[in-house]
Amino acid sequence: MSLEEALSIRETVRSFAPTALTLGQLSQLLWATYGIRDAQQRRTAPSAGALYPLDLYIVVGEKGVEGLEGGVYHYLPMGHALEIIASGDRRKEVAHASLWQMWMAEAPIMMVITAEYRRTTGKYRERGVRYVHMEVGHAGENLFLQCFALGLGAGIVGAFSDDKVADALEVPPQHEPLLIIPVGHPR
């Protein structure tokens, strides 16, 4: 699919079929969102000063991804790998923390983009906060476009309790949740 086609069909999806993603699809989604794209270790999303303040966490439902157990995973771009953070399906906990938007829990996975602001504010001071917010927008749009290029759908959630989402994911306190994107096959 061309970029023009992906842009023309991109829309927010809030209803998902109970079909699992493949590991290949998940791998491509992770790479497109925030993966390493070249020998200089630059990412697929632009970053002020190449400081890369974002971290991706994937909330995988039971049978959400073929060959992957339900749980919370942290994406490690340097090795294009996942590390398990918490076992068990946490989608309902994240949906509850998102003002009870239970449609989210239907998606096989949720991508949660967090920020460690000090990675950018250490160099750019308060202006760095703005740069982090720009970067999460770039990464989120990369994910949306890759979803549609793969025949998947994505929703977008910004209404949530930061602390409750962080607790459900068991992320480090400096990783502040900024965006939740449920992903799956559109119903």
Task: Give the mean model confidence (pLDDT) for residues 6-13.
Answer: 85
Residue 82, phi then psi, degrees to nearest 5: -120, 140
pLDDT band at 11 (very low <50, low <70, confident <90, very high): confident
Q: Does the domain at residues 3-184 carry the CATH identifier 3.40.50.20? A: no
Task: Give the mean model confidence (pLDDT) for residues 4-9.
Answer: 82
pLDDT at 186: 96
- pLDDT of 2 above 90: no
Give the Cα separation of 131 and 148 in Å (integer): 26
Q: Both tokens of residue 80?
A: 């294009």
pLDDT at 137: 97
**178 touches 114 (CB < 8 A):** yes
Give the rounded percent of residues in the chain with a pLDDT score beyond 70: 100
For residue 154, give the amino acid letter.
Answer: A
What is the pTM for the complete model shown? 0.96
- pLDDT of 1 above 80: no
For residue 171, give the amino acid letter.
Answer: V
User: Which residues partner with 68 through β-bridges?
Assistant: 65
> Which are the contacts of 159, defined by CB distance < 8 A and separation ≥ 6?
98, 99, 101
Among residues 148, 149, 71, 81, the alpha carbon closest in space to that of 112 is found at: 71
